[in-house]
Amino acid sequence: MISNEFRQSLKDKYQIVFHNEKLLEEAFTHSSYANEHPESVRDYEKLEFLGDAVLELAVSDYVYRHFPKLNEGELTRLRSNIVRTEGFSEFAIECGFQNEIRLGKGEELAGARHRKTLLEDVFEAFNGALFLDQGMQKVQYFLHLTVYPRIATGEFTASRDYKTDLQELLQQNGTVNINYEVVASSQDPVSFTVQLSVDGKKLSQGSGHNKKAAEQAAAKTALSKLEESRTD
């Protein structure tokens, strides 16, 4: 069951009170739990499917209205940078979602509760459930309190997505293992240095004011190296 503390938190922070409690429970039910408790609500996978589309539409509407000077290509890149699911795990943690996820015993022991991909799925599922329960207007209200303030500060930009471009280039001939690792950081000023490795081999480094910016810088450097080597 969803804890009373979490329900109260949703009410106090986001003015959200679900009319259909089963939708809320479903949004936090992993397939491993559903398999072990077949009498319970189903897992969140269908809500995740819906939430993905809901978030893309909501964010599209927001950036269209708030960035009138951007052209279609720039709006597309900005939306892509926002709705790429790797960022949703951070929002899920900020909202306290990780403590409410219902997992099977094996997944719990494996530490799945803190797995980024699972947290991303749950964030999408929650928004899908909220859409079904109270409509797009309530989803937009929730996002105005969580996601949109980060857009307004410039954390997401319409600039080139170097990480995606690098991944597409490297995987043209098959899957490769791309790893970004923080190798240095400082607090004053805040700075991160990330090392980029491909199939275990160091390729480049990059620095930025947060981990995402450092990863983009490392990917940009790697792309430059690869493009130069192809012209030699």
HSE, CB side, 13 Å, CA atoms: give it for residue 72: 0
Q: Please, are residues 182 and 192 in contact by the beta-carbon 8 Å criterion?
A: yes
Query: Per the residue annotation, which of 25, 52, 133, 161 is the catalytic one?
Result: 52
133 classed as catalytic: no
CA–CA dist 24, 6 (Å, integer): 11
Q: How far apart are CA 6 and CA 81, in angstroms?
A: 29
Q: Confirm whether 124 is a catalytic residue.
A: yes
CA distance 43 to 104: 11
- What is the rounded (10 degree) CA torsion for 208, 210, 213, 219? 80
The answer to whether the beta carbons of residues 51 and 128 sit under 8 Å apart is: yes
On whether the CB atoms of residues 100 and 26 are closer than 8 A, the answer is no
Selected catalytic residue, list 124, 133, 161, 215: 124
Q: How far apart are CA 190 and CA 23, in angstroms?
A: 40
Q: Are 127 and 55 in contact (CB under 8 A)?
A: yes
Peptide bond into 189 cis (omega under 30): yes
- 3 state SS of 67: coil
Tell me how many degrees the CA angle 46-51-57 measures, rounded to the nearest 5.
140
What residues are annotated to the active site? 52, 124
